[in-house]
């Protein structure tokens, strides 16, 4: 659905050239939710704006929804929907009016455009506010309307720029549901986010972006596995710690082991499978385990590993 | 071509509905010229008997100038609306649809022109009540000229809006240019009263020829060279401005 080769964007800021995007190569498959995760200023939005025909790339190639981005931007526009960070509904008109105009601009006859607007209003549960002017909407209502505007012409590919920024938790979950439903209907969704949990919960695959480049790409699970594996923390009586370490050290599944003041930290590949084995081993060696914890690496650990910074700090 | 026309019609209707939802601005734009007409025009009555005052009587001289002034000011500020839609994302959303950039611009310009024509009609109506005595055909031709002038200014205003992207900067820019343009086009008092130097400067100001042309037309003097000069000047300026703005709409502008 999307393929890019060495996509670049350089802005002029005064006399300096700012390289916002520095050679992005990626492939987005049909029907998946693909996410761009990265701190603010990483180049996520710039990349998205190039792919949605709003910005001319400074270099590189891209095919979007089957058409060449540089040669055929008009065809690309027919196939894609785009929901900007700040939305784009006209504040002094009602949501329904906005939807109808949007349909008309995609060559729908008036009756079809009205029909489609009603469909979306029902589907996204906007009946209570669709006929009020957009200015009066709450943040969540407005976001849903923005999403609907991007969906009017049933695009094959929908771009969502920071779809849940500044939403309350409930509206956020609601929006995630809508995005998953879009995937079910066969739409490819490309979104940017700087929320770890959003990338984790929503995206089939994601690319981590930093300083205008993709530093890692894969499913959330793959990315996390790439990092350190899982950490199992075993609480043992202090005098038994050396024995425990000796016992586990020779096991093939242990990557690394560290002794802390009152516990052992064991780094392993697949924590959920290894944990019962470890417990059985220690038990049969008469080393009673007092506490146990299994920690999964988060996407933040992935980001930390790739960039040397925590995403939470940079965002 | 048919596509552009359909889209222009859609965008025009849309923009007009937005304007009609808060028609207060249309009325506010009228207040200043109406005040000038009521409170300033009577002062010209005695002056108009002096030798260097153009022919036609005070109101016939003053009203066309007022109409152009209203065109300059209401036209110059239309860009503010575009800056708003730059910031609230409306323009960006429209730019990702297949709608042609020409239709986007024309949809706004036609709305602006219609609003201005209505304002002009109201002002001329007030003038008639006070004793304005226009030549009917000349009046119609003058409206065509007024439309062309306001179209030019509004287009430039949209171009500046896209270039500056900032409301304060746009307002300052307008104030910087609009007042000298207005003073040097003999809107309030005819330039025939001015010293030679000022008159020469004003000759280089296209608005001055538009004002003179409108004054000639309202008394039915089609032979005045300012009439064709103003039409040619503003047709050319409008075309230049239109190309400039559709160009910047096509490039990144959000």
CA distance A154 to A124: 14
A38 Cβ under 8 Å from any chain B Cβ? no
pLDDT digits (tens, 9 = 90+) for B89-113: 899 999 999 999 999 999 999 999 9
Rounded mean pLDDT of chain B?
89
Distance of residue A198 Cα from the nearest chain B Cα, in angstroms: 24
pLDDT (0 to 100) of residue A228:
62
**pLDDT tens string B17-67:** 999 988 888 888 888 888 988 888 888 877 777 766 776 778 888 899 999
Residue percentage of chain B with pLDDT more than 70: 97
Angle subtended by helix axes B24-39 and B101-130, to nearest 10: 40
Residues contacting B6, CB < 8 A, separation 6+: none
Of the candidates B182, B126, B186, B183, the residue with the CA atom closest to the CA atom of residue B153 = B182
Name chain B contacts of A97, Cβ cutoff 8 Å.
17
> Among B7, B85, B88, whose Cβ lies nearest the Cβ of A105?
B7
**Which of B96, B101, B251 would you mutate first to test chain A, the one with the most A CBs within 10 A?**
B96
* pLDDT, position A312: 63
pLDDT at residue B208 is higher than 70: yes
What DSSP string describes B162-197?
Answer: HHH--HHHHHHHHHHHHHHHHHTTTSSS-GGGS-HH
The residues near A39 (Cβ < 8 Å, ≥ 6 apart) are A194, A210, A311, A314, A315
Cα separation of B254 and B242, whole Å? 19
pLDDT for the residue B254? 39
What span, in angstroms and rounded, lies between the C-alpha atoms of B203 and B196? Answer: 11
Look at residues B235, B202, B231, B207 and name the one whose alpha carbon lies nearest to residue B217: B231
Is pTM, for the whole model, over 0.80?
yes
Residue B253: per-residue pLDDT: 42
The minimal CB distance from A106 to the residues B18, B93, B98 is found for B98
The complex scores an ipTM of 0.85
Contacts of A136 in chain B (CB under 8 A): none
CA distance B78 to chain A (A): 16
Q: How far apart are CA A171 and CA A163, in angstroms?
A: 11
Is any Cβ of chain B less than 8 angstroms from the Cβ of A107? Answer: yes
The SS3 of residue A153 is coil
A82 in B contact zone (CB under 8 Å): yes
Question: Which has more pLDDT, B129 or A299?
Answer: B129
Check B98 against A77: CB less than 8 A apart: yes
- Residue among B10, B17, B92 whose CB faces A88 most closely: B92
Q: Which residues, numbered 245 to 284 in chain A, qualify as contacts with chain B under a Cβ-Cβ cut-off of 8 Å?
A: none
Cα distance between residue B229 and residue B222, in whole Å: 12
Tokens 């096509």 belong to B250
Residue B92 Cα, gap to closest chain A Cα (Å): 7
* CB of A52 less than 8 A from some CB of B: yes
pLDDT score for B10: 95
Radius of gyration of chain A (CA): 24
pLDDT of residue B63: 92
A41 near B CB under 8 A: no
* Cα dist from A251 to A240, A245, A276, whole Å: 18, 10, 14
User: Is B96 within 8 Å of A53 when comparing Cβ atoms?
Assistant: yes
A165 burial via Cβ count (<10 Å: 0-12, 13-18, 19+): middle
DSSP character at residue A134? G
Residue numbers in chain A where pLDDT is lower than 70:
227-228, 305, 308-310, 312-315
Contacts of A85 in chain B (CB under 8 A): 89
Q: Among all residues of chain B, which has the CA nearest to that of A52? A: B96
Question: What are the respective helix, strand and coil percentages of chain B, to the nearest 5?
Answer: 80, 0, 20
pLDDT value at position B252? 52
């Amino acid at each position: 659905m999307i393929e890019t080769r060495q996509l670049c964007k350089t802005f002029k800021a005064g006399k300096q050239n700012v390289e916002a995007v520095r050679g992005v190569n990626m492939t987005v498959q049909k029907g998946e939710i693909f996410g761009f995760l990265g701190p603010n200023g990483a180049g996520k939005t710039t990349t998205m704006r190039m792919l949605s025909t709003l910005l001319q790339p400074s270099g590189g190639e891209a095919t979007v929804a089957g058409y060449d981005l540089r040669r055929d931007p008009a065809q690309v526009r027919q196939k894609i929907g785009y929901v900007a960070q700040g939305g784009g509904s006209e504040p002094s008109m009602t949501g329904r009016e906005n939807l109808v105009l949007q349909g008309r601009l995609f060559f729908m006859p008036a009756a079809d455009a009205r029909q489609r607007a009603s469909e979306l209003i029902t589907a996204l549960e906007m009946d209570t506010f669709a006929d009020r002017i957009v200015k009066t909407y709450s943040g969540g209502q407005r976001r849903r309307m923005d999403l609907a505007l991007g969906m009017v012409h049933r695009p094959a590919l929908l771009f969502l720029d920071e779809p849940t920024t500044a939403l309350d938790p409930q509206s956020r979950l609601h929006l995630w549901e809508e995005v998953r439903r879009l995937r079910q209907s066969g739409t490819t969704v490309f979104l940017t986010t700087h929320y770890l949990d959003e990338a984790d919960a929503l995206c089939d695959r994601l690319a981590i972006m930093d300083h205008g480049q993709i530093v890692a790409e894969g499913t959330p699970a793959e990315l996390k596995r790439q990092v350190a594996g899982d950490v199992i923390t075993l609480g043992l009586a202090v005098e038994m710690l050396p024995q425990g370490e000796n016992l586990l050290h020779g096991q093939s599944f242990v990557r690394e082991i560290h002794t802390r003041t009152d516990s052992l930290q064991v780094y392993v590949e697949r924590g959920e499978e290894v944990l019962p084995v470890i417990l059985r081993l220690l038990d049969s060696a008469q080393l009673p385990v007092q506490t146990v914890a299994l920690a999964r690496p988060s996407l933040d650990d992935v980001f930390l590993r790739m960039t040397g910074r925590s995403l939470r700090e940079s965002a | 071509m048919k596509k552009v026309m359909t889209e222009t019609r859609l965008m025009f209707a849309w923009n007009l509905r937005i304007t009609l939802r808060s028609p207060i601005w249309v009325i506010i734009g009228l207040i200043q010229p109406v005040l000038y007409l009521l409170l300033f025009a009577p002062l010209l009555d005695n002056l108009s008997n002096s030798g260097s005052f153009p022919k036609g009587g005070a109101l016939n001289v003053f009203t066309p100038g007022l109409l152009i002034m209203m065109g300059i000011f209401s036209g110059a500020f239309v860009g503010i609306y575009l800056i708003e839609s730059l910031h609230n994302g409306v323009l960006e959303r429209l730019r990702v649809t297949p709608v042609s950039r020409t239709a986007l611009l024309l949809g706004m310009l036609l709305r602006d022109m219609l609003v201005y024509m209505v304002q002009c009609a109201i002002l001329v109506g007030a003038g008639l009540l006070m004793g304005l005595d226009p030549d009917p055909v000349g009046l119609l031709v003058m409206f065509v000229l007024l439309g062309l002038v306001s179209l030019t200014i509004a287009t430039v205003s949209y171009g500046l809006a896209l270039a500056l992207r900032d409301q304060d900067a746009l307002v300052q820019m307008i104030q910087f240019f609009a007042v000298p343009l207005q003073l040097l086009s003999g809107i309030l008092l005819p330039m025939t009263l001015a010293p030679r130097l000022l008159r020469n400067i004003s000759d280089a100001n296209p608005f001055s020829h538009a004002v003179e042309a409108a004054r000639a037309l309202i008394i039915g003097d089609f032979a005045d060279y300012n009439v064709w000069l103003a039409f040619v000047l503003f047709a050319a300026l409008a075309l230049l401005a239109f190309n400039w703005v559709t160009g910047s709409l096509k490039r990144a502008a959000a």
